[in-house]
Structure 1
């Protein structure tokens, strides 16, 4: 089975992890700060905070921005559930903004319309989570302008987008948002096995996120309510969590980050080749906005099956049965039972549902051989030939 995504682990990666295993620190040592600096410096941000997952990074970002009971968080319905759940973790209410029909990202036009209505109803969002689906950045300039006008904070969920660029600058530099979150799950562009990083240019947000990832505990005397009892002293000044990244994960991340530019460039080569090989088939290949340079975590096509006697499901199952590990990113969050119980209906976000009815993620990983890609395309052609 050709997987839709796969990590690349080299001997240098293994050596980096073994070096930590032989060191004095398996956690809370020098590798986590090194990894944080490497990510922050690469994207052009002042601070990087490493945690055990991008979900945790989203959570501490929301907490640091003051999200709480009675507040609203808005995000895209076409994302993994964590982009919305982070609001619920803080006691806030969650709503969604429909997607753009070409980028599949949160649509700024739909966002403005929803904001206009929300202002009259006194339920403007405190935070908008802009998800860079597949690694292609949202229209962040437009979203940032709306944030200034309507007074909300912006988190970029760049879980798919490390190494990508927007308007010629690396995603995560903070020009258009308060916090950006990256994922380092095994199928992502760079992996730490599990892990995430939140980057920001705001010193106070960085301080708060640092507290929230570490039980709310500090040894900084400036944050304490009294003089330390001794050199052993610490205080819990917030209700935090154990969201720390291990030294093993960070060492793997440091090794992997050295190949990031190569990883993304290779994905662009594969995407260009897919575009050519699929050009004559009834599929819509990923459209790339001229302002973006996608990280290309995913290669999502939309099947054009109108008039053909074949279903989306049958097409998907045919590819799986022929050794192609396709996937679907994502089931719109508002259709999940937990969110339906809040009152959401499927057709509340028609562009998201239209996308869901047609989308399939074809295999895309930087170690993919052209022979594997040829096999994927042959299976897609076979599906149209045999099923249609």
Structure 2
């Protein structure tokens, strides 16, 4: 498939990024080397977190975070239906069951009030979740303070899937600081805020969690004599303490991610500028604009509008087709997870989470990335204005 002239997202790679990767290629360490730790420290410092553990992608990060939270067979993980499937699949990798909490129709994030009500019912039935994953949709944090209070009340581990939200803030502190979530997940896929080509990271303030996360990303193996079950027998000795995975990030990927960190604030500032400009340009069109909740500053990974279908003659599909026909790579984030065939087989059905389903029937993700020019943004809005009539 040919790329669109103006995609919904695109990475920004400069000469410094290329030089950073080339430097690693010329070094003795292509993987399991010092650049990974440098990347971890840089992001932990930016987010004001104690520990950061880099892995090969954010899905791996979610998986091992759930294992560290001791999620397993017989347990429940709850998350939002308005997310990529990885936010739910991580529970299934652990043998746990999944349920969902509907979204707030304004922020499009997991609705804290609905979560509170569902927890009351679950407590009475003896089916409280072991883990709740709150997704920072489009770059905006959930109502994490309220979710943290519910976590203390009901005893679940709160994980923030902030794959969209590197560089965002909540109540004056960086997302990932660990004030509210036990662990925070970031993604460095090319369409995200910064990229390492592929990669993810888990941030936490819990030293025990960090130690186990590092072990799980590398086959469950340790070379630390203090952790070994029997005395070590030489400098070469290692022990596998548990079943882990090969989820390591390479130094090549870490070098790119570390280089991109130098431009993180610039990227986020440009995304915020473009989002503000969209709000002005789209005023008066038959669309509902995204909003930021009080106290949250979005990183604006996505700019999602909702089509006001009662005001236009075209269907959602027709609007998509018309925009893509002129080379605009609009997209839709997300198909509600519970409507995917795999989760329908788990018993979910249409109508289970009506706010997420209604949002899905109206959503349209417009192009947004740091290199999007004013002229290209004007073109996007011009075509949308023409199509909507």
The TM-score with structure 2 as length reference comes to 0.98
Alignment of 1:7-156 (within 5 A): 7-156=11-160
Partner of 1:281: 285
Q: Deviations over 1:170-203 (max 9, x none)?
A: 0000000100000000000000000000000000
Deviates more, 1:28-37 or 1:305-314: 305-314
Partner of 2:347: 343
Partner of 1:232: 236
Partner of 1:306: 310
Check whether the contact 1:324–1:379 (CA below 8 A) recurs between aligned residues.
no
Check whether the contact 2:62–2:90 (CA below 8 A) recurs between aligned residues.
yes
Partner of 1:183: 187
Check whether the contact 2:35–2:251 (CA below 8 A) recurs between aligned residues.
yes
User: Aligned-pair distance for 1:307?
Assistant: 4.6
Distance (Å, rounded) in 2 between the aligned partners of 1:284 and 1:375? 19
Partner of 2:264: 260
Runs of 4+ in 1 over 2 A off after TM superposition: none
Distance (Å, rounded) in 1 between the aligned partners of 2:312 and 2:189? 37
Q: Deviations over 1:348-388 (max 9, x none)?
A: 00000010010010000011111110110011011112xxx
Partner of 2:331: 327
Partner of 2:255: 251
Distance (Å, rounded) in 1 between the aligned partners of 2:168 and 2:267? 11
Distance (Å, rounded) in 1 between the aligned partners of 2:55 and 2:151? 27
Q: Deviations over 1:303-339 (max 9, x none)?
A: 0011532101101111111111100000000000000
Check whether the contact 2:286–2:312 (CA below 8 A) recurs between aligned residues.
no
Check whether the contact 1:181–1:196 (CA below 8 A) recurs between aligned residues.
yes
Distance (Å, rounded) in 2 between the aligned partners of 1:30 and 1:211? 17
Distance (Å, rounded) in 2 between the aligned partners of 1:183 and 1:263? 15
Q: Deviations over 1:273-303 (max 9, x none)?
A: 0000000101011111121100100000000
Partner of 2:273: 269
User: Aligned-pair distance for 1:6?
Assistant: 0.1
**1:381 partner SS:** helix
The 3 A distance-change label for structure 1 pair 307 and 373 is closer
CA RMSD, 1 decimal: 0.6
Check whether the contact 2:286–2:311 (CA below 8 A) recurs between aligned residues.
no
Distance (Å, rounded) in 2 between the aligned partners of 1:187 and 1:240? 29
**1:357 partner SS:** helix
Partner of 1:290: 294
Check whether the contact 2:219–2:245 (CA below 8 A) recurs between aligned residues.
yes
Check whether the contact 2:32–2:251 (CA below 8 A) recurs between aligned residues.
yes
The TM-score with structure 1 as length reference comes to 0.99
Is 1:384–2:388 an aligned residue pair?
Answer: yes
